Chain A
Amino acid sequence: MKTYKLAAIALLHFCLLFILSGCWNNKDINHRVLPVAMGISKQDKEYKVILKIPEPHQGTTQIKIVSATGTTITQVVDKISMNMESSVDLLHVKVIIIERETAEQGVKDIISGFMRARDVSAKALVVICDEDLDEFFSKIKKTTGPEGTTLFDFFEKNAGWNPQIALTRIWMVYRSIHSYTHDVAIPLVKSGKSTMVEQIGSAVIKNGKMVGEINSDETLLVNAFNGEGIQGRIEVMDHASVLIISDRMEHKSKLIEQKPYLQSQINIKVVLLETRGDPSTKVIKKELEHLLTNRFNLMFTKFQTSKADILGLGQFYRTQISRSQLKFWRSKYYPHLKMDIKFHINIQNEGYLKTSSD
């Protein structure tokens, strides 16, 4: 009796081995391809998807570009998967590249699809490409090094990211589609001549549609405003070039007769790098203040005309505008917003050389 029981338990535990492996319809890693970048363009109701797949090949990595068209993105991916010798797994897609025209038509469906299916991580970066996607990818293929992740490294904060590049992930774009007060900027790139990609500026996205464009200097201000940190950026003026080492902001928001007023002060600490002639620190400070203020005001009027609240200014009025009214923030309040921005510059040090203070 006892041996029977023991045998039964042993058999049961043996069966458990099969469950414990946790594999179901599992495809081994050598039968999967893991694209790192995905390009999407829409041509008369048909999506064209281009995948950039790094393939290990005798010790080095080779880049393979595959593309197909179809009515939905999943269908296209499925098609590619069908035509390739191994199955496509989107788990590691890090960068989504959308063609400019597609972005102008709106990316709501694409982004919602990614959020729903979770094949693609919600953290993947979104980029808009200012040229034909086929051309972009074929150029990339030539310039990419053996690691195959260059396109991703370009945007990664601990790698090739610079403060004048917007950093926007899928979930942020999704938030901008639904949020009442928050829009996003998406980096706008094209293939470069000597470097792989060239950053042109940022696309202004409102409710999932591209409505405008700002250059990379203006993107820097947006990043500063959103607290991304703009350290390491070099500003060049007539008399000097400086390195920004820290930035801090204060805001005061008011609502007078249904008209929003915002007073902002941005404190920036800089280090002097290079001078032309013999300017005093006072002149440099004034010059930098002037430069940034002008640039900001110019950019802000651009935002207001396109009614896109990239800076998330509506967030400051959440205490003053009721939720039902906040719905109309972009159309009713935002265009009338009076913004008074002040830059306060501190020169932390002047390097090894002395500079006169006045």
Chain B
Amino acid sequence: MYPENIIASTSEGHWLAILLGVIIHFVVISVYMKGLSFFPNRNIIGIYSSVGKGTALFFLIPVLLYFLMVIIITVRAYSEIITIVFLSNTPLWAIMALLLFISTYIASCGLETIFRTGILLAILFLPLILFIFFVSFQNVDWRYAIPIDGNFQFIKKRDYLESFFAFSGGYLFLGFVQPFFSYNRKNVLIAAAVLIPFFFFSVYIPILTFGQATASTFFLPFVVAVDAININWLMFDRVTMFFIISLIAFVMLFLSLVSWKTIRIIEQFIPSIKPVYMLISLSVIIFLFCLSVPDWKDVEKLFWWNTILRFYVLIAIPISIYLIGIHSKRKNQHENI
């Protein structure tokens, strides 16, 4: 979907649009991690609560809403994509139930399970995804990359603002895992840097294969580009299937991570209920909500509403953490003197 947004947002010089997104992503991550580094072994819920209950409410409620929206949209959108791409006879609710069930189960087992599953999935599916990425260059005509001169017209476009979902999903978890795991800041930045080519390729492969004029007519440009791959020596006819299935595996992992984070926040405000029950009731509510979304137009509407929240999360959270960090550091210094 990311390529679709970018291709829709500008007709030439896509690299500029992608680059801007990547740069913003980097700035946000580094500010966020810098802020978190002021509080060793504490997560963002603890940080906000230490400032005051009002602050915690003010910052965490939007994040909570954002997470809920993300889960709903992801479940709904991906189940729709699954029905479009291969399971055209299966009813939506069955796919959504499956997606939610597995991710809820993983989330209920805790953070460590999520990360271990992540490593397992990476071993199983990353080679496959990398392979598909490489073979998708098969039909590429490099001359379609031209003209390369870009302008900043795309910033105002709704599609471009929506494309930020690709960046804003992952990084927040860095603030949640603190007491359980420690990480090296440099390694996180390296990982983010490794992802950059994928952002570029996912947009440029459809463009180089079909040309801008054709690629803009597709709903899922990258999937169609993968569909056009023809490999004689591979016994499987449709590589797309492998691509989508490995993608779904990662989506399940992402869902379980987000629902785990959501539970952490709710736990802060309502500590009396057991997290497992909370998780189950949460996924039931989300499932019902997903059922009540009738068609793709409404998914897009939800997506757009969420964009506003997303920018709040993208801008306010890292900066506020950073400011609180500096503030508390000063206070500590004063006390020491």
Residues of A within 8 A of B (CB): 19, 24-26, 92, 115, 118, 121-123, 156-158, 169, 171, 174-175, 177-182, 312, 315-316, 318-319, 322-323
Kindly list chain B residues whose C-beta atoms are within 8 Å of the C-beta of A175. 210-211, 214
Complex CA distance for A308 and B238, rounded to whole angstroms: 32
B232 with A323: CB separation less than 8 A: no
Closest to A159 in B: B232
| B103 → A minimal CB distance (Å) | 14
Q: Does B159 contact A (CB under 8 A)?
A: no
Known A-B contacts A178-B214, A323-B11; the reply to A157 vs B232 at CB < 8 A is yes
A-B contact pairs, 12 of them (CB 8 A): A19-B98, A24-B90, A118-B227, A121-B238, A157-B232, A171-B210, A315-B141, A315-B143, A318-B143, A319-B147, A323-B147, A323-B212
Closest to B95 in A: A24
A180 with B213: CB separation less than 8 A: yes
B232 with A316: CB separation less than 8 A: no
When A and B form their complex, which 4 residue pairs have the shortest distance between CB atoms, in order from nearest? A318-B146, A178-B214, A24-B90, A315-B143
Closest to B227 in A: A122
Q: Does B302 contact A (CB under 8 A)?
A: no
Most chain A CB within 10 A, of B11, B98, B210, B232, is at B210
Complex CA distance for A171 and B229, rounded to whole angstroms: 10
Residues of B within 8 A of A (CB): 11-12, 84-85, 87, 89-91, 94, 98, 101, 141, 143-144, 146-147, 209-214, 217, 224, 227-230, 232, 237-238
Kindly list chain B residues whose C-beta atoms are within 8 Å of the C-beta of A174. 210, 214
B91 with A24: CB separation less than 8 A: yes
B90 with A25: CB separation less than 8 A: yes
| B323 → A minimal CB distance (Å) | 44
Complex CA distance for A331 and B142, rounded to whole angstroms: 24
A122 with B228: CB separation less than 8 A: yes
| A90 → B minimal CB distance (Å) | 12
Query: Other CB < 8 Å A-B pairs besides A24-B94, A123-B227, A179-B210, 10 of them?
Result: A24-B90, A25-B90, A122-B228, A157-B232, A174-B214, A178-B211, A179-B211, A180-B211, A316-B143, A323-B11
A323 with B12: CB separation less than 8 A: yes
Complex CA distance for A169 and B144, rounded to whole angstroms: 19
A171 with B213: CB separation less than 8 A: no
Kindly list chain A residues whose C-beta atoms are within 8 Å of the C-beta of B229. 123
Complex CA distance for A115 and B144, rounded to whole angstroms: 21
A123 with B230: CB separation less than 8 A: yes
| B174 → A minimal CB distance (Å) | 33
Kindly list chain B residues whose C-beta atoms are within 8 Å of the C-beta of A316. 143
Kindly list chain A residues whose C-beta atoms are within 8 Å of the C-beta of B89. 24-26
B98 with A179: CB separation less than 8 A: no
B87 with A24: CB separation less than 8 A: yes
Known A-B contacts A121-B237, A158-B232, A179-B214; the reply to A171 vs B224 at CB < 8 A is yes
| B175 → A minimal CB distance (Å) | 34
Kindly list chain B residues whose C-beta atoms are within 8 Å of the C-beta of A180. 211, 213
Complex CA distance for A179 and B141, rounded to whole angstroms: 13
Complex CA distance for A338 and B224, rounded to whole angstroms: 36
Kindly list chain B residues whose C-beta atoms are within 8 Å of the C-beta of A181. 211
Closest to A119 in B: B88
Complex CA distance for A24 and B87, rounded to whole angstroms: 9
Complex CA distance for A26 and B210, rounded to whole angstroms: 34
Kindly list chain A residues whose C-beta atoms are within 8 Å of the C-beta of B146. 318-319
Complex CA distance for A316 and B90, rounded to whole angstroms: 46
| A78 → B minimal CB distance (Å) | 14
Contact of B84 among A118, A123, A179 (CB under 8 A): A118
Kindly list chain B residues whose C-beta atoms are within 8 Å of the C-beta of A123. 227-230, 237
Kindly list chain B residues whose C-beta atoms are within 8 Å of the C-beta of A26. 89
Closest to A170 in B: B228
Complex CA distance for A118 and B84, rounded to whole angstroms: 8
| B234 → A minimal CB distance (Å) | 12
Complex CA distance for A156 and B237, rounded to whole angstroms: 14
Complex CA distance for A198 and B11, rounded to whole angstroms: 43
Known A-B contacts A316-B143, A318-B143, A319-B146; the reply to A178 vs B213 at CB < 8 A is yes
| B46 → A minimal CB distance (Å) | 33
Complex CA distance for A315 and B141, rounded to whole angstroms: 9
Kindly list chain A residues whose C-beta atoms are within 8 Å of the C-beta of B141. 312, 315
Closest to A180 in B: B213
